[in-house]
A and B are shown apart, each in its own frame.
Chain A
Amino acid sequence: MLEAKHIAKAFGGERVLRDVSLRVDQGQVVAIIGRSGSGKSTLLRCLNHLETVDAGEIRIDGRPMVTTGPGGTPVYAPKAELRALCLKMGFVFQNYNLFPHMTVMRNLCQAQERVLRRPKAEAAERATALLAQVGLSDKAGQYPCQLSGGQQQRVAIARALALDPEILCFDEPTSALDPQLTQEVLGVIRDLAREKRTMIVVTHEMRFAREVADTVVFMQEGVIRAVGTPDEVMGDHRSEELSVFMGLLGDD
């Protein structure tokens, strides 16, 4: 469903991603873990075209988003195709990034109406259903600033879902939240996993990753150090290096 090969990305000489390859299949939940600065966000942002890659290839449903050109430089798909491919991906930010001047309802409907050109009634219906799903039916008329962080993040998840993405990406969706609000948001993501939604989740929540993910990707200094089932990466038979890292994160 999503295939990234040999992705490289540097910021002013600092090589943040070096030769990263990742594959995500239909219905899979992939958790990306790793120390701060290891390149997790950058990888996720490259997959969503929030950053451009310096090298490598990304395909979504077999359609190339970026391929390697003759000179070895990356060549992105034409604008329209790029937009279509990016719409197959949803993105939930660490700090929500809701539109503060719009009500919760408008936040959920605006892109449906203006990007997907859905009729207003249909968009509203979808938004209402999603708000119910994330447990915020009573907040439709509120503005984001009137909601708690956990509620805002759930709205952000509903907003992403409203466009029916094939893959939903989360960049540390709970790291701005206190433990209780974190559980609210993780609960929603857990439900999505149960529905067999394809997801890529960057997280520091080890227990959650272990419980929800089919595949855990461990990153370190811009490379993928380990990929496997939660047990393989986080279980008792993990390598010493991983053990040290897990220890640092306070895993049990």
Chain B
Amino acid sequence: MQYLNDPDLLMKLLSQLAGGMLTSLSIFFSTLLFSLPLGLVVALGRMSRRKWVSVPVSFFILIMRGTPLMLQLFTVYFFLPRLVGPIPRLQSTMIAFSLNYAAYFAEIYRGGIMSIDRGQYEAAQVLGFTRSQTFLQIVLPQTVKRVLLPVSNEVITLVKDTSLATAIAVGELFLVAKNATSASGSVEPLFIAGLFYLAMNTVVTFFFHWLTRRFEYYRG
């Protein structure tokens, strides 16, 4: 109980962890910023009727979902710089995470889009909507509601997955806690970090509750 019995030490640890959490949050938000829209592009590619689009995109999804995220992180960190020049650790993490999560979101979106009744497309067609109007004005808005729950699952997983960045020594929450544990020999920092993750996911959970309620104005 060396941290819990010593307020000064505890305060110091908490501020270190808070700094780590900011880095974790920057990974979290930038991953969402890129992967949520990128997932839609990937989903559309996957559903394309053109084989030369859908086949490579399917392959991309298979790789991203079929191999460990940590391995993907290593690949981006160690091999991508050979092609495009040096990339800082944090940015490597963001790239790897964005690609990985885009693949997951794409499959969620695809499921949502395919769950929209054919009658909606037919109604849109007889009313004269073009294909893109049909997608943007009729299919996509209904898809948002249907994918909310699976998307929230992924977002919660993402909060915890940011800890994988420890593997390439990005100074995020988990690494800070691990270092404090190594230095002090106490596991308290790791458990306190656990509470930080829990707090973040509590916020995420409430956010999605709120969002779900906002879509309750219609059934379907």
Contact = CB atoms under 8 A, between A and B. Distances in A.
Interface in B128-149: 128-129, 133, 137-138, 141-142, 145
Given A100-B219, A114-B133, A86 B123 contact: no
Contacts of A21: none
Given A100-B142, A101-B142, A50 B218 contact: no
A89 B126 CA distance: 8
A91 B129 CA distance: 14
A90 interface: yes
B123 A99 contact: yes
A114 B142 contact: no
Contacts of A49: 125
Interface string B95-137: 0000000000000000000000101101101111100010001
Interface string A56-86: 0000000000000000000000000001001
A48 B218 contact: no
Contacts, number: 63
Contacts of A115: 127-129, 133
B150 to A, nearest CB: 19
Interface string A161-185: 0010000000000000000000000
A95 interface: yes
B119 A100 contact: no
A91 B125 CA distance: 10
A89 B128 CA distance: 10
A163 B128 contact: yes
A100 to B, nearest CB: 4
A105 to B, nearest CB: 14
B52 interface: no
B220 interface: yes
Nearest to B220: A100
Given A95-B119, A110-B137, A114-B137, A101 B220 contact: yes
A56 B180 CA distance: 79
Given A97-B119, A145-B220, A83 B128 contact: yes
B127 A111 contact: yes
B119 A101 contact: no
Nearest to B140: A101
Nearest to A112: B127
A101 B128 contact: no
A163 B218 contact: no
B120 A145 contact: no
Contact of B128 (A87, A93, A95, A100): A87
A159 interface: yes
Nearest to A162: B127
Nearest to B119: A97
Interface string B56-95: 0000000000000000000000000000000000000000
A50 B126 contact: yes
13 contacts: A49-B125, A50-B122, A86-B125, A93-B122, A93-B123, A98-B123, A99-B123, A100-B219, A101-B142, A114-B133, A115-B129, A143-B219, A163-B127
Interface of B: 117, 119-120, 122-123, 125-129, 133, 137-138, 141-142, 145, 217-220
Interface of A: 48-50, 83, 86-87, 89-91, 93, 95, 97-101, 110-111, 114-116, 143-145, 159-160, 163
